[in-house]
Structure 1
Amino acid sequence: MPQNRPRRPKVLCLDDEPAVVEGITRTLRKLYDVTGCTKGTEALAVLEADPGFAVVLSDMRMPEMNGAEFLAKARELAPDATRMLLTGQTDLDAAIAAINEGQIFRFLTKPCPPPTLRGAMAAAVAQHRLVTGERVLLQKTLRGSVEVMMEVLGLVSPTYFGRTTRLRHLAADLATALGHPAVWQIEVAAMLSQLGYVVLAPEIAEKVYYGRILDQRERAEVERAWVQAAEMLAPIPRLEPILWIVRNVRRTAADMAHQPGASPDLVRAARILRVAMDFDELLADGRTSAQLAIDTLRGREGHYDEDVLDALEALRGGGQRSRVAEVPVGALAPGMILVEDLALASGMLLVARGYEVTERLLARISGYPADALATDTVRVVLPREQAEAA
């Protein structure tokens, strides 16, 4: 058998009559990988274990739960799957409930002739490919564009960009550990969350970066910077969920829930990013340990979600990052993360701590003579593969 043969789309079929499940399987098995179930709880367990089904097809009238209830739950477990309902009922209310609760793609009546079923299945798989393909394209295009913009802004404000890089990694790690369904949105929001600081006066931006006390005028300037950042992002299409996170990240959970466009996933994303931001601010002075910073956050009762703090402590206390090493500046390699700032001998900051080394950064550093740098070595976090080999 050829090794490069494309995988068949996976289809989940639910009907309380085994004979119906067997008949559907026979009709579709040449083109699809069909999994049949006769109980709603069984089908939900299958989706929970593997949400990668292209299509979910369900009967309407079943003893444990009807098709509308099942498809609504299936949507939560496998949101990308195309959902279809197969029923012998002609009850309009049942059909409307199924469409509204499960957001089904197509409504089929029993008995359903094989050609009709195959045609509907082909359309459902095409819909699944369209939805997933558009999302992947959006993620790659949007995230790639933001990454380029952040690198350009890093040339203007190395301090800002260093913090942005740290937040991006930590927020993504937290979201992954907590099983958030939109890690990429949190990652992009983390990159954009500091955009307002670019318009701040350098002396205020430096005070914010190092966690120094701001007077009333400076705090007002910072608030205005946040508003300006949101205004800059607003015209970008498809950025609405990310913009919502950036706009509301400093609100309380109760206040977030009442903001226009709020959803449980968006509120959760903003809460995750807030922990990452406040944790990084506490570490900015260079004297506070990670554990002390976590304990400080825990001491602010009611400010954060406890499970997010638990995930933060597990990540920072469990050695998730590879070991720190001091390397010559000339030995820097892509994937390393700076633990300390890299400056010129003149005192000008070249790259802030937290920056992940890229080929572009190496080319930039190589443009300076060796004696133009303030130091010959710099401490970095080694990529996992290098740390394991060391």
Structure 2
Amino acid sequence: MFEVRRTLPGRKVTDEYAQHGNPWLAWARHSAHRLGEARGWPRKTLLNVEQALVIVLTGHAEGDTVRYSEIFPVLRARGLSVERTTEVLDHIGVFLDDRPSSFEQWLESKLDGLATGIARDVGDWARLLHDGGPRSRARDVATVWNYVNRIRPVLLEWSNRYDHLREVTRHDVLTYLDIVQDAQRQATVVALRSLFRRAKRNGTIFKNPTSRIRVGQREEGVIQPLEPHHLDGSVAAVTHPADRLILALAAVHAARPAAIRRLQLDDLDVGNRRLTIDGRTRPLDDLTRQVALEWLNFRRQRWPDTANLHLLINKQTALGTGPISKSSVAGPALHGQTATLQRLRMDRQLEEALVHGPDALHLAEVFGLSEKTAIRYANSARALLERPLESDPAASPRTHGSIP
């Protein structure tokens, strides 16, 4: 009628006792050796996992489930690998990851303080954005964060007067938008419009108060090139071979962080001097080739047996097959620098437009930009090229220096 949680042994379990009549442990050990061989686990890691399996699977019977919440404190206290052990347990079909979703925890904190009816609609909308649906694609989690954070102040204000979104009027929306700045107003209208459209489809509101409210066109300023000392500062800040390669990919090839994370070893063809980024093959310049060879040599010495086919790996991913995390590729070494990876990517695209002319079609072809983005870079380059020479610090296109 109810499920009883197992208590893992608090003392050290002898290997002989654990193996006696325990087919689950034998299967898990076999699976650990197969996974370790396939993924290049060193002997130390394999021994670590075997010790953890002895503790976790002692007394395991048919139908038992091993929960993350049960094994995490026990294994962590002994310095044993939780991640590798759960991989094995999941492989043999006895693992249940019962960790609460970080997104759900964040969302619950943002719904706190809202009226019950409003919180219900906002939660449904945010989850649809995050998870997607039959007629809605999943959005990047950062987009969901921005949307919810943008409209949380007005939702709290409305929660003081209303119990449901259906009570919010067009006048309420316009009153709030009157006190929001231009750029923030556009983002707020977009988020509110998305929320009320979802509520209308669900039938929880009768009329969309954001309909026919104009978003307005945001004036895009001229993209300015980075100053040479900004570039020099970022080049001097990166010392690790992986960071140097990431910087080169952003500064020379305008690669986005997500594209850098997805790069495979086969995408780098050193012999034929070709590099493929998101399906677009381009020449491999001397600078990128140099730092790529440095990284490959470091990678080979540090993790000679890894089976991870991603070009960039670290100590967390070298024993698996997944990409490095977003935070790892975000350029921790560039924190505090003006020339961040984002600015370097933008600067490279602007430089292309300055050198080859403000041709939006050329930019779209070279970097895979959308029509709107390519036009913006072309317009910025045209404005810079038409600027009077004496007042133009970027009158002559510059080239990216080398990474020492």
TM-score for both structures, normalised by structure 1: 0.25
Larger Rg: 2
More contact order relative to length (CA 8 Å, sep ≥ 6): 2
TM-score for both structures, normalised by structure 2: 0.24
